[in-house]
Chain A
Amino acid sequence: MIHSLFLINSSGDIFLEKHWKSVVSRSVCDYFFEAQERATEAENVPPVIPTPHHYLLSVYRHKIFFVAVIQTEVPPLFVIEFLHRVVDTFQDYFGVCSEPVIKDNVVVVYEVLEEMLDNGFPLATESNILKELIKPPTILRTVVNTITGSTNVGDQLPTGQLSVVPWRRTGVKYTNNEAYFDVIEEIDAIIDKSGSTITAEIQGVIDACVKLTGMPDLTLSFMNPRLLDDVSFHPCVRFKRWESERILSFIPPDGNFRLLSYHVSAQNLVAIPVYVKHNISFRDSSSLGRFEITVGPKQTMGKTIEGVTVLSQMPRGVLNMSLIPSQGTHTFDPVTKMLSWDVGKINPQKLPSLKGTMSLQAGASKPDENPTINLQFKIQQLAISGLKVNRLDMYGEKYKPFKGIKYMTKAGKFQVRT
């Protein structure tokens, strides 16, 4: 199982190590550094690196490499999933997951890691349970602890640990009982030069924030559950009910959690809400190139597209760009050749555009590759797949909760080739 964990920052310093079995020397990370050097960018470091005696499995998040060391045959996905869980837990505990924050809370981090794994076997990874074992630091608690000498380690066995609903603690009490659900859909798409869709798929999730007293038993039904044919559930969802009735029935964890994620890939169901008109041309003779893009709404069901950002990695040969946006602000970094244009809202009457010229290296031939445009946007109050929640009912408790549902569509990996 998982032997050790090293946290490494982007400049290659090991700033935390934890061993669950015997101590593995830091020098094992040299193999990782080698791989890191070979990969030009941090993102490209391969996630599985063999060394003569160990295997290094790593994930890269928040500019930190989480490198797990294993010695025997262990499912790599198991390890990688766990590492992501570690990152999520840190984020949950400290708000952000960064080197200074981890260093500031090193003892809590150590205690948490010790609770998460035993001998390399996962022990408690549900944040509900972890927080009962090790209380997350808050300013108030730190102050209180210093004065009263109490600790941030719980001395009770977390109640959820062994019950049939391990994800929920007992004895939850709220004065305002509320349950919020966010339906968030991300569109991943590749659009080709001519504007036709090559691939498009929707990655949807339903994130919940449930603060309900006692042991509520919820059911959530959809207007159009047939949309969901490829779903992954939180362990709390009763799979049998879903299979037979297409209803989500569950006892929720306390607080924030991801109830379900789903995937819609049938091409005809994926509406593309924006289009990009582009004219990017280099000429062989001249050292100037023309650049012009316009963004416009397509199938938005009457909703406004906001938070639009255009990102494009320009070819190496481009020295500089002089552009004028009709709205928003733009920057071009001549070193990384990254063009970014913060557009904001799209007004269908007056479409935003960015026009101008690119100056190329004098005498160089025109670049071989065309820049790909990466688009980010948000649409409030719309789930682009058309998914709609029908109703939410609660059983098992007497009070009347406050319920809320929000929809949002975002761009995931939305790429337009030029």
Chain B
Amino acid sequence: MTDSKYFTTTKKGEIFELKAELNSDKKEKKKEAVKKVIASMTVGKDVSALFPDVVNCMQTDNLELKKLVYLYLMNYAKSQPDMAIMAVNTFVKDCEDPNPLIRALAVRTMGCIRVDKITEYLCEPLRKCLKDEDPYVRKTAAVCVAKLHDINAQLVEDQGFLDTLKDLISDSNPMVVANAVAALSEIAESHPSSNLLDLNPQSINKLLTALNECTEWGQIFILDCLANYTPKDDREAQSICERVTPRLSHANSAVVLSAVKVLMKFMEMLSKDLDYYGTLLKKLAPPLVTLLSAEPELQYVALRNINLIVQKRPEILKHEMKVFFVKYNDPIYVKLEKLDIMIRLASQANIAQVLAELKEYATEVDVDFVRKAVRAIGRCAIKVEQSAERCVSTLLDLIQTKVNYVVQEAIVVIKDIFRKYPNKYESVIATLCENLDSLDEPEARAAMIWIVGEYAERIDNADELLESFLEGFHDESTQVQLQLLTAIVKLFLKKPTETQELVQQVLSLATQDSDNPDLRDRGYIYWRLLSTDPVAAKEVVLAEKPLISEETDLIEPTLLDELICYIGTLASVYHKPPSAFVEGGRGVVHKSLPPRTASNESTESPETAPAGAPTGEQPDVIPTQGDLLGDLLNLDLGPPVSGPPLATSSVQMGAVDLLGGGLDSLMGDEPEGIGDTNFGAPPPAAPARVGAPIGSGLSDLFDLTSGVGTLSGSYVAPKTVWLPAMKAKGLEISGTFTRQVGSISMDLQLTNKALQVMTDFAIQFNRNSFGLAPAAPLQVHAPLSPNQTVEISLPLNTVGSVMKMDPLNNLQVAVKNNIDIFYFSTLYPLHILFVEDGKMDRQMFLATWKDIPNENEAQFQIRDCSLNAEAVSTKLQSSNIFTIAKRNVEGQDMLYQSLKLTNGIWVLAELRIQPGNPSFMLSLKCRAPEVSQHVYQAYETILKN
């Protein structure tokens, strides 16, 4: 008795028959019928017509029947949404069942019913299950949140499920933790900006504990999540590494690779002098080698990743060359990858072995593989200079085999060898010439023609050889035609007497009989050169050529660093950052390796290159042209900005400015000018405030915090990357804004990740809402050599031209260097614009508060802030938000505060703090309400840091 009986059909029509059976009274018959329905479903038959009948079977005690009905429901609910509602009641009931298996089953199935209408009914049962006493139910419910989020993200957020999910990270059961992490990671992927997985040392510790106890799949989720964390210093990095290394011995290769990712990333932070660094390097090799003894599909993924690892840290596998030797029955995709890694690992020490292997591969059957093997020999010659001679003789041996495609590949690579080692191996040209006739591929023909042209003076019958190609000139591919044209011109310049006829022939073929513009243009150029100034022609055509680069196939260092963060993912298989292929730009957050930050500076090794691309010999790679942001700024960096403002619709902030000024003048005590004179040069200190308390008799109350922490300056956010190196041809800019004793500056860190020196830096801002502009030119004193980083503090003023931006605090910047002009835009925190004399007189405050219409009032909630009123006002004061009065109403502390922006706008605030409640209420009143949102953000940043 097998399930195949379910496929037998009857005369009356299957559906009809099944319908009758499903409605049968006998339980047994019902179950059999449902099984038949499922069987038909699995092979893709449409049995959706039976929906009501199957759903009727749902209310049953028989678990198997229930499961089968659920299977059916998941498949067809989407197509029958109205009917699916019938199932809701049963789900709700099942979620209360005493058997945890049934509760879990219900919550699991619920989430798979992808019908919008139903989802809201499911929130309550899900909420209960997330708090269920049985961990099996909780872990299932965690996944259900991810499912629900996929169907209706807004609902999940509104219902607060995300917070519950975050709480599950601290669950006592490791399986629940793992599933919560998995669910959060999946949700986070569709919301790249959200801070769902906010990792801190405590949560990291919980994850590491759960790591030891959860299932292999859970370990993968946790490790991938860990990899997104940036430890605060090398000690923390080391301790995480120590706890992750045991995973390298796991039987599941995905666990191993995820562990490798974490280690590779955190290793960046460790000093190379540490003993532990060396130990870690040694520990990484064996598991990588072991991956290669797994099934071929696993090997393939492992090899693609090893390819990256070998480029980043060649020392790990330098002694393991032999495991990459190709077995003749490896699948072709494994063979090609192994070959690639062999070349990367080739060095003077092992070149003999490698060459022997490559020669062996060149006699195999598979054409693609043989070709690649021959190319690999050429790459060896270019990479390991000492081996060049041996490589050339190996290639000659291969040419002797006369196998057509081997010969052609060999000739292509020999051409490259000639370019790398000029005047060394030209003796082999004779052998090459013998094989002229057998070349039928354009690339090989072009290579051969190039050789003949380049060494025309050593080949007696060069003219004959080239003439033979010329016969079928029009049938050749463009590549060959161009090469032939150049070669004959070279020949003519070397042996002008005998070849005049030939050169005329080719020039007329190229210019008159061809309709390929490239060819024609090149023909004309040669023709004119030759006819006007043969000496100049000689200089141009026979100019010395630069040597070809060592390895042209290396991944650019910045991309490599990014890919290292993606070890084990699809990105690592394709060697492309996810932004290049993830659909719709979802989940695209650039990851970068953490910079090395030693907790004790003395252990720091002399080379402090952040994101440490290995120093020492750095192969010549020209970074690929990054896609530029586009001409955002519409300005040329050379001359200063001129011309009328472009955007006519832009709101000028001047009007608001007037208003601010008006308010200013009202407050008698303060010297009016300060707010404005502040801009240009930093005043010595904030004189007005340190002075006597202002105004009324209540001043002692108001002046709570004057004199405290005024010199420390505003809160400074950590530097973030504004311009990734990939977008700026290797120039990486990160930075932040600071305000200290009245002066604003932009702290920049410029890193050269390209391989050429950068000079001639300049910076310019586009017009912006508050008229921010550089107060001095960008001073980079010495040229920035590769891998070097400079820190610059650029003073800013606010006297630049004003244009309202969206968002308000958007700043568009152009940076120029000798390579190009790059554009980026960044958001500056508003609190850098809060001036030191932003403290308002109390009466003034009351009057202004009343005066500003209520529709200008904006309310915000500041969550998760555990400071008390005292600390809050101290903290805010250091960023120039001044507390004017403090009241206690019904146990709540009310702080009344004021601040002033550089353009004179006043913002008044009421901050309500309830002791013990981490959420504060913030009400803001301002005549220019558009700033409120940004002031609120400034509050958030200041209070939370």
Give residues in A with beta carbon < 8 Å to B.
1, 14-23, 26, 39, 43-44, 46-48, 50, 53, 55, 57-61, 71-78, 80-82, 84, 103-111, 114, 118-119, 121-122, 125-126, 142-143, 146, 149, 151-157, 161-162, 164, 166, 188, 190, 192, 198-199, 201, 203, 229-235, 239, 243, 258, 260-261, 263, 265, 313, 315-316, 368-370, 372, 374, 413, 415, 417
Contact = CB atoms under 8 A, between A and B. Distances in A.
A22 B171 CA distance: 30
Contacts of B173: 162
B2 A104 contact: yes
A10 B186 CA distance: 34
A9 B498 CA distance: 67
Contacts of B287: 230, 232
B301 A77 contact: yes
A18 B179 contact: no
25 contacts: A15-B43, A21-B147, A26-B44, A59-B295, A71-B583, A72-B587, A73-B569, A78-B220, A80-B295, A103-B3, A103-B4, A106-B4, A110-B42, A119-B146, A151-B62, A152-B64, A155-B63, A156-B101, A157-B104, A162-B135, A192-B356, A198-B357, A234-B251, A261-B251, A417-B360
Nearest to A203: B293
Contacts of A22: 78, 114
B117 interface: no
A76 B136 contact: no
A73 B300 contact: no
Contact of A230 (B258, B289, B331): B289
Contact of A164 (B39, B213, B570, B587): B213
A50 B581 CA distance: 10
A44 B333 contact: yes
A119 B150 CA distance: 10
A119 B112 contact: yes
Contact of A75 (B42, B135, B323, B569): B569
Interface string B260-294: 00000000000000000000000000110110010
Contacts of A72: 186, 189, 582, 586-587
Interface in B213-235: 213, 215-217, 220, 224
B249 interface: yes
Nearest to A205: B251
A104 B62 CA distance: 23
Nearest to B321: A199
A1 to B, nearest CB: 7
Interface in B112-147: 112, 114, 134-136, 140, 143-144, 146-147
A105 B2 contact: yes
Nearest to A80: B297
B293 A188 contact: yes
B150 to A, nearest CB: 7
Given A58-B297, A369-B365, A121 B327 contact: no
A149 B27 contact: yes
A109 to B, nearest CB: 8
A153 B63 contact: yes
Nearest to A75: B568
B759 interface: no
Contact of A73 (B28, B112, B143, B189): B189
B64 to A, nearest CB: 4
Interface string B167-191: 0000001010001001100100100
Nearest to A149: B28
A108 B3 contact: yes
Nearest to A7: B42
A84 B295 contact: yes
B286 A233 contact: no
Nearest to A103: B4
Nearest to B175: A162
A254 B295 CA distance: 26
Nearest to B581: A50
B488 interface: no
B112 A106 contact: no
Contact of A232 (B104, B146, B249, B332): B249
B374 interface: no
Contacts of A17: 42, 44
A193 to B, nearest CB: 9
A14 to B, nearest CB: 8
B558 interface: no
Nearest to A231: B249
Interface in B1-37: 1-4, 6, 27-28, 31, 35
A201 B220 CA distance: 29
A48 B250 contact: no
Interface in B797-827: none
A81 to B, nearest CB: 5
B791 interface: no
Contact of B333 (A47, A162, A243): A47
Chief secondary structure at chain A's binding surface: mixed
B327 A119 contact: no
Contacts of B573: 48, 76
Contacts of B586: 72
B945 to A, nearest CB: 31
B302 interface: yes
Contact of B325 (A44, A118, A125, A199): A199
Nearest to B189: A72
B570 A155 contact: no
A104 B175 CA distance: 34
B785 interface: no
Nearest to B360: A417
A413 B329 contact: yes
Contacts of B578: 73
A154 B403 CA distance: 64
B297 A47 contact: yes
A119 B146 CA distance: 8
A216 B766 CA distance: 74
Given A44-B331, A118-B108, A153-B63, A76 B75 contact: no
Interface string B26-65: 0110010001001100111000000000000000001111
Contacts of A21: 112, 114, 147, 150
Contacts of A1: 182, 186
B301 A190 contact: no
Contacts of B4: 103-104, 106
Contact of A239 (B183, B246, B327): B246
A265 B289 contact: yes
B363 A368 contact: yes
A142 B1 CA distance: 7
Contacts of A18: 42
Nearest to B76: A23
Q: List 6 tightest A-B contacts by C-beta distance, closest first.
A: A230-B286, A104-B2, A151-B64, A153-B64, A47-B297, A77-B254
B108 A48 contact: no
A73 B587 contact: yes
Given A73-B582, A198-B325, A198-B357, A107 B295 contact: no
A106 B253 contact: no
B252 interface: yes
A377 B183 CA distance: 48
Given A121-B182, A121-B217, A110 B301 contact: no
A119 B111 contact: yes
B67 interface: yes
A48 B290 contact: no
A80 B286 contact: no
Contacts of B328: 313, 372, 415
Contact of A114 (B31, B63, B67, B146): B67
A165 to B, nearest CB: 10
B611 interface: no
Most buried by B among A16, A118, A313: A118
A23 B114 CA distance: 10
Given A23-B75, A162-B175, 4 more contacts: A77-B253, A107-B6, A201-B323, A231-B249
A351 B461 CA distance: 59
Interface in B431-467: none
B100 A77 contact: no
